[in-house]
Amino acid sequence: MAFQLSSRVGAQGADPTQSLSTALENFQNALSKEQKRGFEESTTRPDMASVIEFVAEIDARNSSTTRRCVAPRLCTFLEATQQFTGVVDSFVSSNPTIAALVWGGIKTAILLANNVATYFDKVTSMIMRIGKSSPTYQQFGLLYPGCIGLQYALCDFYAIIINLCVKIIEVSRRTAFQQTISSMISPFESEFKLFLDLLGEATNKINLEVSLASKQADQEAKKLLEYESRENSTFRPLALDFYKTSLKQQAKANQSRMDMKKRETAKLKTSIRNNLSPINHTSPWRQTMKQRVPTTAEWLQKETVFDKWKDDPQTAILWCLGTIGMGKTVLMSYVVAQLQLHAARKSNEIVSYYFCRVDNEASLSARNILGCITRQILDTQIEQSKYETLLSLQETTRDLSTPEVTQFLLSHLENDESKKYYIILDGLDECDGSQVQAVAKAIVELCSSHIGFKILCAGRPGLEKRFNSSTPQYRIMVNEKKVRSDMDHYITKSLDQCLEEELLTLGDSAIITEIHDTLREKADGMFLWASFCIEELCAQNCDHDILEALKHLPHSLAELYDRKLQRVREGKAAGQAMKVLQYCGIVKRPLKIMEYREALSLSLEQKSFDRGKVPNNMDRIINGCCGLTFADEEEDTIHYVHRSVKERLFITNGQHIAQFDMASIDRHFGFLSMTYLDFSNFKRQLTKVKRGSSTPIKPIQIGTSILPTYSSSRVTSQMARRLLSHRGQLQHFSTREVERTAQELIGDKNSSQLEPGFQFLNYARTYWLSHLTDFTPDTNSNMWRLFCRCIEGDDVPECRPWESEETQNRRNDIPEAIQWLFFHGHYALLSYYSRHQSHVLSEKMKDKILRSADIRNRYRYTEVLVRLSNTSNTLNHGLSYAALDGCIRSIALLLQAGAEIDAQVNGRTVLQAAAGRGRLEVVQALLAKQADVNASPAEQNGQTALQAAAGGGRLEVVQVLLAAHAYVNASPAKHNGKTALQAAAAGGHVEVVKTLLAAKADVKAPAAENGGQTALQAAAGGGHFEAVQTLLAAGADINAPAGFDNQTALQAAAGGGHLKVVQALLAANADVNALPARRSGQTALQAAAGGGHLEVVKTLLAGKADVNAPPTNYKGQTALQAAAGGGHLKVVKTLLAEKADVDAPAAKSSGQTALKAAMAGGHAEVVQVLRAAKTYGKTLTR
């Protein structure tokens, strides 16, 4: 059977762009001459830079209006349009300009609508809604080439868009009077309803075509495999005729193979990007941009410090610091927009950014922050990579840890000094301290490894102290003086907008001046405070109340929040509004309005979903939150209006702390999620599909036969009125039959506005377990039983996250649930397995759990595990881990359970481990339990407790151990060992050194056999000047030999370039020409020369160092050979001036002459100098 392609094509030569071409022709006919000129100027084929530039143009045109920035509303739609125009020209070759015409038409319509202020706001809102459902390249990009049906559907969609643009232009031409009359006769929604309905149908058609094309692609991939299998078969015909007849099939197979590879390439790119970070970083930026009032937030980029940071030729960090509510986030959003605009047409500038969101737990993770930045910086590289490279990248990016993400980024940066990488970070101080520290560490590493970074961080004062970097740092304080002009604009335009929209109504217009001046005077630079106060004034009913409220404005955000909370409690929607305020602070991701509707209807005693309890009017509930929350118009999600709201409600809200106890609300929400998953009315639907069935059940389909779909309140009212008018006809029908016919009564045109039921299912199924991390059986026995049923999954299916999460590094030897437990640190899940399936918790599992536990969970985990039967090995390891963590309660529990206090784990007793980590209280507790203070160290890298404490500079621990009679001169381990004094000296811990010397430590104790150092050698090698002085004063042997593989004190100091130490040792009569170690040793001069330490070299030469001392036999080098190999030109010249032998022979084993060493290192200037010296030397000998 020949390979066949089942191409879904229409008539030969059909043009899928016909409808679009017709719409464009109608569009041009609808334009005036002047408008046509504007259209012609806009007809350029767009790229992503075009979108950025057009959005910036819209905002610039609105800079003098009272509107907030609405241009970000357009971004999603414009990006989708740009993606479509990038492929439409490939549909047909007869009209190569169609992409430019589509883009020009849309731009023209938007710009014309922009001329009518009230109209433009409605237009942008409509375009934003269209953008949410517009087809994206990710959906259709690799399917359209072989699918005429999809090409037709896409062109039809944009033909409707162009026709809608004609309508937009038509309405924009109306006079103000005509606008008013038409809005009364035919509201905006009605005028555009036909187009929106057509777009809904077109979107459905595109989705259908995408689905069909995707299935066709899968079928073709399957056929291709079958075809290749037959082609590779040993039974295939060998006759020449076979190859002739199969030529056409081979060509088709090659095309299918190419298409399949393109699809796989796209999937790889998506996989790599998601591996780096799944966070949508653009959404919070757009949300913030929409809050900006035109002409505000522009001052920062006019600051001298900003220019210095931006123009600094080196990597630099700029800190933008200010207290809560001073507009830092809006400031950063505008900086991002301007940097993107500036870099839009530049290939050597990349802008990346990240806005932390307190209501999205995943966004506060250092791993996701750094991964998202990496994803943005490397996005172009990923997009341009070939298939084989992408395969490698996909494997490399799987399950990267936080440090590994940083290394991945550094390893893929272009080695181009002209390249600039902007990183803008906002709200880092909202993250947990450990996450901030991880980000700080990564940023410091980036700055120290590459010169092209420009880091801009916004946060509260003190954040900058977390970043201990030597990189140039600039600072701008956001204070009242800096934002005074912005505040004036903000208050003026906010009040003007409130008056225009009749949110603020005045009897006496003159009082607006008093309102403005009072707000400006008392705002003290806090935009958030001013915004809330304006809301408070708008809530008043008369001028008297407004003026009274003006006299008693809150003095702080805390007072303002308390007032609003009191109003929430007194409101008509108090119960539901309070739940929204509570739930908004503990959800793992922002919930959509429809998800909140269902969540608010839940109670623990429910057995099935009750539609009658679902709130009918979410607007009333959101308004009942008195401005503390808002609904994002683009994503339909509910958020706190500012991150400080959560802080006030859950952290500093002392008087209402019981109502906002985060742990109890978090747990209660988990209970509600479990209850929801256990509802009988859709659980039956889930269980109908057995495991292994080929029929998938999607959340959007679940329960639709049982629960009527939801709708907006307007549509619901319309349905109710229709049903009321047909009540006579319906009285003999059952409720189910009425529900089934209700859609027909309301009419097909409204069907697209209805929302499917069970909106909360996806969230509940994904996150229920995350809300119950700290749940214990004692908290609620009924809920614990339900918890167990959910874990077991037989009665409550499809709710175990480890069965759905894609984890690339899953291990077959560890149950999936236990792996999930490790990753998420889930105490309740551990409790379940210890009680009900303890056989799963092998000794290996227990050890891993105890090893990976953090300090917050250690005691609880230990408490659970010691109840089980455990080997002494497990208990001993647990004891060591607890000691390292400093968890005394766990130590007591483990000792009581039978752990051996002096057992060695990983070459250390528990006392040695605790002493090295500086756990003073643990050390004291262990000594009280009779731990052996002088237990012998392991032979390889081992340390006694005193040696470990001394090496770590733990002075108090050292004092406690000495008081407990620790041997101050205990012998070091044979390999790389140190006495306590040697260990303290190596770390430069002067006070510890003095304490040990006072306790009779042997200052002349010999070095360990392998890899050891005397105390003085160790201190000198580390450059610890004070320690060196202290040891010399105590009589240390300044010329203790280097031995087999060590260094004398002077050699060690010289190799490290520690000039002050070298000078001190020479002044104390150190032997400047002491013999080097037999293995790879160096004299002091050779060591300094090899390190390029010019001043040390000069000091040693002045001290009569032998410039031509021979190298050691194995890998040895003369001073000149060492300097030449390192490319240290100035040192080479200095040595030659001192008569260094340029022709000195190389070491017998692995050696090189000076010239060969320089050539091997590619040091051209050094080679020239050495050759000149050879020539000069020959001239002298003639």
The dihedral formed by the CA atoms of 1158, 1163, 1168 and 1172, expressed in degrees to the nearest 10: -30
Helices in 726-815 by DSSP H: which ranges?
727-730, 735-746, 761-767, 781-792
**CA–CA separation, 403 and 718 (whole Å):** 57
Please, which residues have CB within 8 angstroms of residue 207's CB and are 6 or more apart in sequence?
none
Q: Is 1102 exposed, middle or buried (0-12, 13-18, 19+ CB in 10 A)?
A: exposed
Predicted pLDDT at 211: 80
Q: Which two tokens stand for residue 1112?
A: 């050691």
Torsion angles phi and psi, residue 281, rounded to 5: -80, -20
CB 992 within 8 A of CB 1015: no
Specify the pairing of strand 638-640 against strand 629-631: antiparallel
**CB-based contact 293:451 (threshold 8 Å):** no
Tokens describing residue 110: 């938007």
Task: Give the Cα separation of 972 and 941 in Å (integer).
Answer: 9
Residue closest to 904 by CA, chosen among 928, 922, 883: 883
Closest CA to 611 of 513, 781, 735, 783: 735
Low-confidence residues in the chain, pLDDT < 50: 1-12, 234-235, 240, 689-711, 730, 742-755, 807-808, 1179-1182
The pTM of the whole model exceeds 0.85 = no
Inter-CA distances, 258 with 141, 209, 255, Å: 14, 21, 5
Task: Dump strand ranges (E) for 401-449.
Answer: 420-426
Residues found in the chain: 1182
- Token pair 């001329």 is found at 115
What is the C-alpha to C-alpha distance for residues 631 and 611, in angstroms, rounded to an integer? 23
Side chain identity, residue 152: Y
Q: Cβ neighbours of residue 498 under 8 Å, at least 6 residues apart?
A: 504, 534, 538
If residue 6 lies in a helix (H) or strand (E), which one and from where to where?
A: none
pLDDT tens string 354-363: 999 988 888 9
How many other CB atoms sit within 10 Å of the CB of residue 186? 11
Selection from 447, 475, 465, 474 nearest residue 314 by Cα: 447
Query: Which amino acid appears at position 160 of this protein?
Result: I
Strand-pair partners of 629:
640
Which residue(s) pair with 476 in the sheet?
320
What's the pLDDT at 920? 95
Would you state the pLDDT for residue 745? 41
- Find the radius of gyration of the CA atoms of the chain: 37
Residue with tokens 């009913």: 541
What is the C-alpha separation between 1113 and 1117, in angstroms, rounded?
9
Give SS3 for 1105: coil
Q: What angle do CA 758, 762, 763 make, to 5 degrees?
A: 110
CA pair distance 1153, 40, nearest whole angstrom: 72
- Separation of alpha carbons 862 and 1097, rounded Å: 58
At residue 454, φ and ψ (nearest 5 deg) are: -125, 105
pLDDT of residue 728: 55
DSSP-assigned letter for residue 1076: P
Q: Kindly report the three-state secondary structure assignment for every residue of 771-836.
A: HHCCCCCCCCHHHHHHHHHHHHCCCCCCCCHHHCCCCCCCCCCCCHHHHHHHHHCCHHHHHHHHHH
Q: Which amino acid is at 1134?
A: T
Convert 485-505 to b/e letters by CB count within 10 Å (16 or more is b).
Answer: ebbebbbbbbbbbbbeeeebe
Exposure class string for 22-40: b at 16+ Cβ within 10 A, else e: ebbeebbebbeeebeeebe
Structure tokens at 55: 């959005």
Residue 653 to residue 659: CA distance in whole angstroms: 10
pLDDT of 704: 35
H or E stretch at 456: strand 453-459
pLDDT at residue 739, rounded to an integer:
52
Beta pairing partners, 455: 317, 423
Q: Are 67 and 294 in contact (CB under 8 A)?
A: yes
Contact between residue 8 and residue 149 where contact means Cβ atoms under 8 Å apart:
yes
- pLDDT score for 176: 62
Residues 1074 and 1106 sit within 8 Å (Cβ to Cβ) = no
Which residue, among 427, 288, 458, 271, has the nearest Cα to 364 in the 3D structure?
427
